[in-house]
Structure 1
Amino acid sequence: MKLPRARRRLYLMRHGSVDYFLPDGTPVAPDSVPLNAEGERQADAAGQLFAQCGVRFDRVLVSGLPRTVQTAQRVLSASGQALTLDHEAALQEIRGGRLADIPADQVEQAFLGAFQGRGGSETEQQRFLGGESIGELLDRVLPAFDAWCARDDWQCLLLVLHGGVNRALLSTALAGQRAFFGRLEQQPACINVLDIGLGDEAVVRAVNLAPTQWLHEQERYTTMEKVLAQYLRLPP
């Protein structure tokens, strides 16, 4: 028996923590929201972990939104690496609609519904905050990701993307076909580890590793449940 050619390594991160709402409840434009202090700490911790493990990247890909750019920059700085960031707009987060257009009795479903499905066509029809559907997200994200996997200019690739996008990529890798498992939680600045082989083969080695709390000991709510609470201005 001959072993297959060694697979290439892909580290898939989510951006660090951000505040989508100001203390008075004013929403911050998702295309411009920056990392908060905790998000900076999380990104630094991830970079330090890569350094401790001797991980060196050939390329670093971000969606281009500030929160992914800032996270990647801090990861590189903390890991002692200097690389130019590649941007891929097709890998930006699932796009919501206008919060003001969502009826009060549909707010919870608008925030959480897209991430509660079990996969399949019904899940693909779910819309996030009245905007883009899961199916539309998959339509733009999967081809862009496949194009990067087909490139031959990297052996170790860091992607810093978003919770919804990461779910799409991880779900498809786990299922071996187009899929979206909304209940795959993605902590801020978490690290997922995949090995990419020939064609569309992918081996998922680790999911949702959070460098600042390995056992998720402080967590009982999902990221989107926390964002909903911020929008409703509920106490923590």
Structure 2
Amino acid sequence: MRHGSVDYFRADGSPVHPHTVQLNAAGREQADAAGALFKQCGVRFDRVIVSGLNRTVETAERVLAASGQSLTLESMAALEEIRGGRLVDIPPDQVEAAFLGAFTQGVETQRFLGGESIGEMLDRVLPAFESVLARDDWSSLLLVLHGGVNRALLARAMTGGRAFFGRMEQLPACINIVDVDRSGDMVVRSVNLAPTQWLHQHESLTTMEKLLAQYLRLT
């Protein structure tokens, strides 16, 4: 899953640090809806892994509560979202490219908001993911992570190697379903299932396009 919806900017336009941002009202509703769906379908988890950032922890806790399950969350910092730089350091004429370039181009050298590059994110995320796949302590696993990280993991599942599907959108609290066999081979069954809007009927912009519009409106 991706974490539920959050507000990365305060009403005065100042950014909220990504390590502290919490779910907003819509994000809590989305997480609860995902949990209710798991309960309805009889899905039970052996393990739950989060990145450790507040928004993944809160999402996982709400999913488990709504699905009637009680599990201890395991945090893996290596699965944190791609790390951006400081917005104030981005020249005005480069803001749009800084917000949209990493996901639209998908090139490993492309930096996200002037910070970490896609390649640097893959260097830390993929080994951590492989270590999870190699474990024998789960049959049904819930990973609650981030839009950028999920794109990397889904690309790994679909290609069998190192890749990044920047244009594969991940709605807040969406569910992706992947089967893994004993050899580590994967089959992707479903991507970007959003229980609060199955047909994405309220969407016309990507997540990063929404953030860019919000940033430009508030600055």
Q: TM-score, normalised by structure 2?
A: 0.98
| CA shift digits 1:55-113 (9 cap, x unpaired) | 00000000000000000000000000000000000000000001010000000000110
C-alpha distance in structure 1 between counterparts of 2:159 and 2:64, whole Å: 31
Structure 2 partner of 1:197 = 181
Corresponding position: 1:77 with 2:68: no
C-alpha distance in structure 1 between counterparts of 2:147 and 2:18, whole Å: 13
Q: Which amino acid aligns with 1:195?
A: D
Of the three residues 82, 93, 107, the one matched with 1:94 is 82
Q: Secondary structure at the match of 1:159?
A: strand
Corresponding position: 1:186 with 2:174: no
RMSD: 0.8
Q: Which amino acid aligns with 1:228?
A: L
Structure 2 partner of 1:225 = 209
C-alpha distance in structure 1 between counterparts of 2:183 and 2:116, whole Å: 29
| CA shift digits 1:167-220 (9 cap, x unpaired) | 000011111210001000000000000001133311000000000000000100
Structure 2 partner of 1:6 = none
Corresponding position: 1:169 with 2:157: no
Indicate the structure whose relative CO is greater, using CA pairs within 8 Å and at least 6 residues apart: 1
Corresponding position: 1:157 with 2:119: no
Corresponding position: 1:215 with 2:199: yes
C-alpha distance in structure 2 between counterparts of 1:199 and 1:182, whole Å: 27
Aligned length in residues: 218
Q: Secondary structure at the match of 2:144?
A: strand
Q: What runs of 5+ residues in structure 1 fail to find an aligned partner?
A: 1-12
Q: Secondary structure at the match of 1:147?
A: helix
Structure 2 partner of 1:113 = 101
Offset at 1:141? 0.2
Of the three residues 20, 32, 38, the one matched with 1:44 is 32
Structure 2 partner of 1:127 = 111
Offset at 1:165? 0.2
Q: Secondary structure at the match of 2:182?
A: coil
Offset at 1:157? 0.2
After TM superposition, the runs of 4+ consecutive aligned structure 1 residues lying more than 4 A away are none
Structure 2 partner of 1:58 = 46
Structure 1 partner of 2:121 = 137
Q: Which amino acid aligns with 1:197?
A: D
C-alpha distance in structure 2 between counterparts of 1:148 and 1:80, whole Å: 24
Conserved? CA contact 2:134–2:184, under 8 Å: no
| CA shift digits 1:24-68 (9 cap, x unpaired) | 111000110000000000000000000000000000000000000
Q: TM-score, normalised by structure 1?
A: 0.91
C-alpha distance in structure 1 between counterparts of 2:62 and 2:158, whole Å: 29
Conserved? CA contact 2:56–2:145, under 8 Å: yes
